[in-house]
Amino acid sequence: MSNDLVIGMAGAGGDGIVSAGESLINAVAREGYYAILTKSFGPQIRGGESSCRLRVATEPVRSSGDTLDLAIALSWDDFLKFGAELPVGGRTTLVFESDSGLSPQDLSVAGVRPAETVAVPIAGLSKQATGAERSKNAVVMGLLSTWLGVSGERIVAGIRRKLGKKGDDVVAANERAFAAGAAYAAEHPLVRSRKLEAPLGAASGKEAPLKVLADGNEMSAAGAIFAGCEFFGGYPITPSSEIMHLLNGEIWKYGGSLLQAEDEIAGIGAVVGASFAGKKALTATSGPGMSLKTEMLGLATIAELPLVCVNVQRGGPSTGIPTKSEQSDLFQAAFSAHGDAPRPVLAPASVAESFVTTVEAFEIAETYQTPVIILSDQEIAQRKETFDPLDTSRLKVVSRRVPSEGELEHYARFRITESGVSPISHPGMAKGNYLASGIEHNESGAPTAGGEMHERMVAKRTRKLDPLKHERRYFSIEGDGGAPLALIAWGSIAGIAREALDRAAADGLRVKLLVPRLLYPVAEQVYRDFFTGVRAGLVVEQSYQGQLYRLIRMYVDVPAGLRSFAKPGSNPILASEITERLLGLSAELQRQRQNEVEPQE
């Protein structure tokens, strides 16, 4: 029996691999398991290979795991295209299509032979049950239902919900294919059992605790609605489009509206206009769209208009790799503006945090009258994850400060205040008219080219963000507070770093971990305090340059032994790799200590 399993599947476009994964995670979530489902696709717009990874466990999981326990290859060539995303090891049970013409000897990967290879006539079972091969994914679900011990009734119920609109014949065919797979698995049990232990609490006969099953884009959209978002303007782009799709069905119910614009520039232009009109406004995009939105973000900065922009990062530059995750847009988020244009940058570290971070982004935008960028990434945005219901009572829903009657008597929209924040009116507010433009201005909004006023306005727009750097609620610190070894990780890599922290502690290492949700402006004192007593460590991230590592070093004196551990997108970082590097750093510190105490000849 297993309490933690990692399953990987790959096949050609049309094989329904991702659909099978989604059906399975729905079933295990309803049974009370914790699970994460990640999806990966080839670069083709249509067709091509697709894959998914499903991790199922009896306790909360924070990443999609390391080496596969169970691998399903409908097409061996397509499986190999995913490389390190579907790592096969000596403990893997590899299931492959028996009609492929391959033998178990052909299935070694980079010199690693799986623990068990199982040939199954998946296409044949589908054809026998339905008269066609297009229900191979239903056969796979039947195989896994039996081998894992997951309720077939729940999976079949999911098939009915998913395919009900296609007619009774389609549903019945898939049910027959599922039954054929389940029967075959019962007759051909795995040598190494992959049965899952019952979820926690199930042995007592209690109902499984309620869990939320969602992806990061869905939670970002839900967070926007919770925060009071009244307008969305954007343009569809992978992998952020689901935010617009969900809001298009929901925002109207809460008095909001949505515009699918003709391009990325028009999308954020509408958002700037909505904010000027007094509405909480959101846009969402990915790297190429962010490049196009840069000028309008500068306009929002100088006009001091609040808005939130979600950038779901993908491989870059240019069109890059639309279907793969990366964390390489941090420099763009913090610095892609001409002139001095500071703006806050936040990043969620899980699907659940996508909700929390979006609410926080609106709070910051409305409080400080600034555009705020959320750096999600494809991994978090599009993976399905189960988690316990969120406690929303601690979240703040904030609206911008409007001028009082007294302030409207001689209203100066950009009045220079001690905090840097000045009250903001909107069209239709009596005595609240003001000029808002992209040109530098004085306190009333009139254009100016004067050096003194420009300096005062730049200082105002920069100074007002200073309190953010002292808000420690945007930082999570875990592990041994006095540890000499440190980890820093953000975004989707944070969950992997948390697992590495647990493994390192089990190996006897003293390590602490910092996960920032606020990436910019850099909270210098938070990092200085964290680095107290630290002699070595890693900043772990998925970008070739190690952008967070470099950003921290711009503002903070880091320990001499702090290093960057960075890989570009499509190159997964595993918890085992982080732990191995921590062991190496620990050994280095021990050698240094030995050299310090031994007498020199």
458 and 592 housed in the same domain: no
Over range 101-123, report the average pLDDT. Answer: 84
Which stretch of DSSP H or E encloses residue 385? strand 384-387
Residue entry with tokens 């959320």: 374
8 and 142 housed in the same domain: yes
72 and 197 housed in the same domain: yes
Q: Do residues 407 and 522 touch, judged by C-beta distance below 8 A?
A: no
Q: Which residue has the higher pLDDT, 105 or 575?
A: 575
Which of 332, 358, 388 terminates a domain? The answer is 388
Q: Do residues 383 and 39 touch, judged by C-beta distance below 8 A?
A: yes
Query: What letter does residue 65 receive in the DSSP assignment?
Result: -
Provide the residue range defining the domain that includes 11: 4-204
343 and 410 housed in the same domain: no
- Under the banding of pLDDT at 50, 70 and 90, the label for residue 201 is low
Q: Tell me the sheet residues that pair with 40.
A: 51
Q: Find the CATH number of the domain harbouring 186.
A: 3.40.920.10
Residue entry with tokens 């399993």: 5
Q: State the pLDDT at residue 161.
A: 84
Query: What letter does residue 188 receive in the DSSP assignment?
Result: S
Which of 344, 361, 388 terminates a domain? The answer is 388
Q: State the pLDDT at residue 476.
A: 98
Integer Cα distance of 261 and 34 in angstroms:
38
Residue 204 pLDDT > 60: no
Digit-coded pLDDT (tens) for 418-440? 999 999 999 999 999 999 999 99
161 and 69 housed in the same domain: yes
Q: Tell me the sheet residues that pair with 486.
A: 512, 537
Instruction: Confirm whether 234 is domain-assigned.
Output: yes
* Residue 394 in tokens: 């601690």
Q: State the pLDDT at residue 46.
A: 62
Q: State the pLDDT at residue 384.
A: 95
Overall residue count recorded for the chain in this entry: 601
460 and 479 housed in the same domain: no
Q: Exposed e or buried b for every residue in 353-374, given b needs 16+ CB within 10 A?
A: bbbbbbbbbbbbbbbbbbbbbb
Digit-coded pLDDT (tens) for 525-562? 999 999 999 999 999 999 999 999 999 999 999 999 99
Which of 446, 464, 482 terminates a domain? The answer is 464
The one-letter code for the residue type at 270 is A
Name the percent of the chain in helix, strand, coil, to the closest 5. 45, 20, 40
Integer Cα distance of 270 and 363 in angstroms:
20
432 and 343 housed in the same domain: no
Instruction: Confirm whether 338 is domain-assigned.
Output: yes
In the three-class reduction of DSSP (H, G, I as helix; E, B as strand; rest coil), residue 110 is classed as: coil
Integer Cα distance of 75 and 96 in angstroms:
8
- Under the banding of pLDDT at 50, 70 and 90, the label for residue 113 is confident
Cα dihedral 468/469/471/474 (nearest 10): 90
Instruction: Confirm whether 233 is domain-assigned.
Output: yes
Integer Cα distance of 208 and 202 in angstroms:
7
Q: State the pLDDT at residue 556.
A: 98
Integer Cα distance of 144 and 71 in angstroms:
11
Residue 523's φ and ψ, nearest 5 degrees, are -80, 85
Integer Cα distance of 297 and 289 in angstroms:
12
Q: Tell me the sheet residues that pair with 109.
A: 112
278 Cβ neighbours under 8 A, 6+ residues apart = 400, 426, 427
200 and 241 housed in the same domain: no
10 Cβ neighbours under 8 A, 6+ residues apart = 17, 49, 50, 51, 72, 73, 74, 75, 78, 79, 81, 82, 86
Q: Which of 63, 11, 68, 69 is nearest to 40 (CA)?
A: 11
Q: Find the CATH number of the domain harbouring 245.
A: 3.40.50.970
Integer Cα distance of 202 and 85 in angstroms:
32
442 and 524 housed in the same domain: no
Residue entry with tokens 């979820």: 199
Burial of 206 (0-12, 13-18, 19+ CB in 10 A): exposed
Residue 202 pLDDT > 70: no
Q: Exposed e or buried b for every residue in 469-484, given b needs 16+ CB within 10 A?
A: beeeebbeeebbeebb
Digit-coded pLDDT (tens) for 450-470? 999 999 999 999 999 999 999
Domain count, the chain: 4
Instruction: Confirm whether 41 is domain-assigned.
Output: yes
Residue 598 pLDDT > 70: no
384 and 420 housed in the same domain: no
171 and 23 housed in the same domain: yes
Q: State the pLDDT at residue 165.
A: 83
Digit-coded pLDDT (tens) for 5-42? 999 999 987 888 999 999 999 999 999 999 999 998 87
Digit-coded pLDDT (tens) for 304-351? 999 999 999 999 999 999 989 999 999 999 999 899 999 999 999 999
Burial of 66 (0-12, 13-18, 19+ CB in 10 A): middle
Q: Do residues 120 and 161 touch, judged by C-beta distance below 8 A?
A: no
432 and 345 housed in the same domain: no
Digit-coded pLDDT (tens) for 209-222? 778 999 999 999 99
Q: Find the CATH number of the domain harbouring 526.
A: 3.40.50.920
